[in-house]
Amino acid sequence: MFAPTRCAVYRRVTSAQTIGNRVQVSTVRYVRLPLLLCRAGSGRGEDHDKGFLEAVNIFEQARTMAHLQTQHELEQAFLADLDLTATATSPEPAPRRAMVSFWCEQGLSSVASEQIVRKLEDAGRRYSVEQLSAKVQRLNRILPDADVPALVERDLAVLDLDPGLAIRNMVVLVEAFPGRQVTELVQRQPRLLSCPDLPQRKERVLELLTKLHPSRERKVVAGVVGEYPDLLFRMDYYQHARMIDELPIEIQNMFVLADQVRDVRVCPGADRKRRPDASLGCWYDCNGQVKMHLG
């Protein structure tokens, strides 16, 4: 028998107001989120479905609590960033030598530091060392595990990132690609942090690729997009594709490689020689069945 037990999770909700150039937290309250836990009995006649349902229930609760914890941590980083921005000053831009030294101190080589400074100059972005330090600290708080200098090297726009938009997009990525490290995703494609329409874009791309992929499984497609986040932007050019063969070979290969890894994990003893067959222009699954035409 199932013995229902009532419990609850509390979510912290903060209200803030702007006074002049500062943000002041006015109220803090906790919203009660009830959950229903189910405990299976130990009778011999119970069927295995009960244990399965209990496991699913526990998993869903753990995922919900992890999501709320992520939101709480991001909220704290956002409020701290607002406070820093409100008190920041705007000194004169630093000389070129000081800028290069700053990036060298962040762990970049002298060549990479020179390239970043040159890109900043070409883009008309003039900062003081204090401003750069504040911006790097902000990124380190939002993405504590990220290689921030490498992130800036790939996309200068992250220096002027809107913290609110970045936090919202990170929550979207957590929900869309469970099991993936958000830091890894944005390290591969920094535009994910500043994309204003990421929720709609994510749905549009996953829906299209699910229709094109032979498996027709969203979970499979999400795994591929999580491995190659550039697809969230590249698929803008292929909205009218009717089959996966109409996509560029490079994108087709992304799915082939992802399927290869998945098949090896599921069927580690399968004959690898029967999988990719370039001469026949097709891809075999673990059972030797044609799974995808490579075009």
pLDDT band at 72, cuts 50/70/90?
Answer: low
pLDDT band at 43, cuts 50/70/90?
Answer: low
The pLDDT of residue 129 is above 80? yes
Residue 120 CA: distances (Å) to CA of 59, 110, 128, 157, 289: 46, 15, 12, 10, 53
Q: Give the mean pLDDT of 26-42.
A: 49
Average pLDDT, the chain: 74
pLDDT band at 46, cuts 50/70/90?
Answer: low
Structure-model confidence comparison of residues 218 and 69, the more confident one: 218
Nearest partner of 195 among 174, 170, 221, judged by Cα: 170
Residue 2 confidence (pLDDT):
38
Residue 83 confidence (pLDDT):
58
Residue 258 confidence (pLDDT):
60
| Segments in the chain forming alpha helices (H) | 48-87, 96-105, 110-122, 129-142, 148-154, 163-176, 182-188, 191-194, 198-212, 218-227, 231-234, 249-266
| Residue ranges covered by each domain of the chain | 2-74
Q: What are phi and psi of 27, to 5 degrees?
A: -140, 150
DSSP state of 223: H
Residue 186 confidence (pLDDT):
94
